[in-house]
Structures are given as C-alpha cells and as structure tokens.
Amino acid sequence: MPDALPPSYDSWEDVMSALEHSNATALDPEAAMDAAAHVAWTPPTHLGPLPLHLRERALHLLAEQRESVRNLEELYRETGRHLAAVRQVPQMSDRQSVYLDVTG
C-alpha cells in the first residue's frame, strides 16, 4: 500500500499535536494495527523555527519517542527469539496429523 500524502500544517501547535497523536498510536498495539497508512514525516519548512514556548513540549515528545524506539527494539529482539524457537521445530515430511496433549 503506498504511503498517504503528508498533512499540511498551519502552526507548530498542529505539528506537535499530530506528532503526539502519532506517538500515542504507535505505543498502543491495537490502535497501531488499525491506523491508516504510514505517512513519512517531514518537518514543515513554511512555519519557521519552533517557537520557544513549545520547547518543553518538544523535549517531552522527544523523550517519549526515544522510549518508543527502545520498546520497539525490545519487541524486535523478542520476535527474533520467538522466530528462532519456531525454526527449531522439525518439519513434518509425511503430512500426518499431529496432536498435542495439553491436559495430561
């Protein structure tokens, strides 16, 4: 599926709100699965520099995004461990039904 078109922003407040929403969605697995097509973010060039009054908000968002990256990296490693375990299961060559006794 092709990426959607990037949104157009009218203010730095709009940019911050969109980034905060995007980060919150990324942290919620159910919301992330239902999210629209990924949009590659590009900083707006028509708004000028980030206003000083948004500095603390931007730093907080940066910290949240760094935490998201750490969480995603751990999920990536965990998925790799799961995949390695699954690959250790021997392949069945004769296509017979196999049942696993989980009660006794």
- Between 36 and 65, whose confidence is greater? 65
pLDDT, residue 2, reads 45
Domain membership of residue 96 (yes or no) is no
pLDDT, residue 39, reads 62
Percent of the chain past pLDDT 90, that is, above it, reads: 28
Residue 1 has pLDDT above 50, yes or no: no
- Average pLDDT of the segment spanning 58-73: 90
Domain membership of residue 38 (yes or no) is yes
Q: Which domain holds residue 37?
A: 12-85
Q: Based on the structure, what is the number of domains in the chain? A: 1
* C-alpha separations of 44 from 15, 51, 62, 90, 100 in Å: 8, 13, 17, 52, 56
pLDDT in tens, 42-61: 788 888 888 999 999 999 99
pLDDT in tens, 16-35: 998 898 888 777 766 655 55
